[in-house]
Amino acid sequence: MASNNFIDYVKINCRSGKGGAGSHHFFRAKGLPNGGPDGGDGGRGGHIILEGSSQLWTLLHLQYQKHLIAKPGENGGENLRSGAQGDDIIIQVPLGTVARDAETGEKKLEITEDGQRLILTPGGRGGLGNDHFKSATNQAPSYAQPGEPGIDEWVILELKLLADVGLVGFPNAGKSTLLSVVSAAKPKIADYAFTTLTPNLGVVAYRDYKSFVMADIPGIIEGAAEGKGLGTRFLRHIERNSILLFMISCDSPDIAAEYQVLLSELQQFNPELLEKKRLLAISKSDMLDEELEEEIRGTLPTDLPSVFISSLTNKNIQKLKDMIWEALHAE
């Protein structure tokens, strides 16, 4: 997933089709000049529909497709012929896509399954023909319903990556390196802050051909909730993760304080994130001897499982996988 092609937010204009008008036709035939009403119903206007696709990872294909306009329904005809429905527009989106009203921010729908189809903007209902309005006291109604208008609205689509584990940490905590070691993902890795500018996904192989999905989120810093660094734009990608794996480098001057800063930024972004299961990995621990490791262990938070790892030497990488798997499948 190339960073310059990762688009997780688009704003599009959706116009559903107008419903066709009902017909107010009367049957006419030789020898039957005063036949009854036989006007058919108008067809429904086209919907705009979102369909989930497991083959997509980004909203890039919608970045330059700003206007989606569905076809109107056809008018009803004689002999009770209904008008054809307007063609629907079906837009494929990655799993984890949320649609919101651009004006109110209200959530409209959410796509989470492959092949799932939900109507984003419904087409107008077709009008009823005059045949529906005949009665004993009105045997020749000369009116029919017009079709309902379509809906013209602006919609925001935002992507929240679906992953089992989300990596949370400051820049240069070793998140991308860990992902590259435990999966086939190839995130950019360099010795400077904010190397990761977009989220990366990797499938982590586990024992007996099992696997889980890990998401590497761009690093956050203190003040991210106020827009510092990369802000909290990408934190929505961990809202659906089952587990949050906090990664802090062993050379941090105060690991416990850094962990509290990360928790604080998550809480300001979305307090519900603190309800997720958490693990703590102390990275780059190949630089530590046993004495230093034991000293640091005594300063770690006691309210969550922790492990010292090294992506360079594979130290405790399997143990970390075991901890993640156990947390994912705990009751």
d(CA 262, CA 266): 6
Between the CA of residue 294 and those of 314, 317, 321, what are the distances in Å? 19, 19, 22
Helix ranges (DSSP H) in 74-218: 175-182
Three-state secondary-structure class, residue 283: strand
d(CA 215, CA 237): 8
Q: Which residues are annotated as a binding site?
A: 169-176, 194-198, 216-219, 283-286, 310-312
d(CA 323, CA 134): 72
Q: Which residues are annotated as a binding site for Mg(2+)?
A: 176, 196
Of 161, 164, 162, 163, which is closest to residue 323 (Cα–Cα)?
164
d(CA 197, CA 57): 16
Q: Which residues are annotated as a binding site for GTP?
A: 169-176, 194-198, 216-219, 283-286, 310-312
DSSP class of residue 308 equals E
